[in-house]
């Protein structure tokens, strides 16, 4: 059965099939066409009780910006969860959440259904967050205009891990932050350098080992480059015993 994503947003058109620049192309589009993933965007404004379909109000205590109100968010979540019998894992996209790392993506890819709440403005009233108790996830230490782009990032990362989505199911395992194949310590390393035709370009040649046909040597070279590149660029990924974190 396809994994189901429900996105609660005030800008559902960002997820429309008529706006393919984000989720309507490449791997997500392939997964949807193959019946391996599905997603449905719901307009939180549809659940506003205000005649102007407002979902936000000024913050108590003063200050800039607007805050999304409890009632439209709560009612939207309750209504959408009832659309499918599968239990939904609630997720709020927020810069205050836990970092979205590959290990977490792998766990989310095992779920049957993810309900993504894309906040906007200054944020969402804290009371409805407490009552919904969603998993709070951040895609990085910066602030976006809303949670929609963050939701797309999470969706793309999850979808590519679904068996059958990629041309080769081993591709995802060899990516950066995956558990490195052949590494006895099971570390999550950055990917190694890659090369393709032509063999020589601008005076630079492809490493000889990659042309050797010796798969054992090639695997060893790739793992060595992964360790080397990770140590240089992301020493924080190494365990404490190496004194790098």
Catalytic residue ranges: 95, 122, 160, 175
At 40, list the tokens. 């449905």
How far is the C-alpha of 225 from the C-alpha of 191, rounded, in Å?
8
Cβ-in-10-Å burial (0-12, 13-18, 19+) of 145 comes to exposed
**Which residue is associated with the tokens 């193959």?**
34
Buried residues in 41-77 as b, exposed as e (16+ CB within 10 A): bbbbbebbeeeeeebbeeeeeeeeeebbbbebbbbbb
């Amino acid at each position: 059965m396809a994994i189901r994503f429900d996105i609660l947003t005030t800008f559902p058109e960002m997820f429309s099939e008529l706006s393919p620049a984000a989720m309507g192309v490449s791997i997500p589009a392939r997964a949807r066409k193959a019946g391996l993933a599905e997603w449905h965007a719901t307009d939180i404004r549809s659940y506003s009780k205000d005649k102007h379909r407002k979902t936000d109000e000024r913050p108590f205590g003063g200050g800039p910006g607007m805050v999304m109100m409890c009632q439209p968010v709560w009612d939207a979540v309750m209504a959408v969860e009832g659309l499918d019998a599968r239990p939904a894992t609630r997720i709020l996209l927020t810069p205050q959440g836990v970092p979205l790392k590959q290990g977490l993506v792998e766990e989310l890819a095992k779920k049957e259904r993810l309900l993504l709440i894309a906040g906007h403005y200054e944020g969402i009233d804290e009371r409805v967050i407490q009552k919904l108790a969603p998993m709070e996830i951040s895609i990085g230490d910066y602030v976006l205009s809303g949670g929609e782009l963050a939701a797309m990032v999470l969706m793309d990362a999850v979808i590519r891990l679904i068996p059958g989505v990629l041309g080769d199911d081993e591709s995802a395992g060899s990516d950066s932050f995956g558990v490195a194949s052949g590494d006895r310590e099971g570390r999550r390393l950055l990917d190694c350098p890659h090369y393709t035709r032509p063999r020589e370009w601008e005076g630079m040649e492809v490493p000889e080992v990659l042309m050797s046909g010796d798969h054992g040597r090639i695997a060893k070279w790739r793992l060595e480059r992964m360790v080397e590149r990770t140590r240089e660029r992301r020493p924080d990924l190494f365990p404490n015993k190496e004194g790098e974190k």
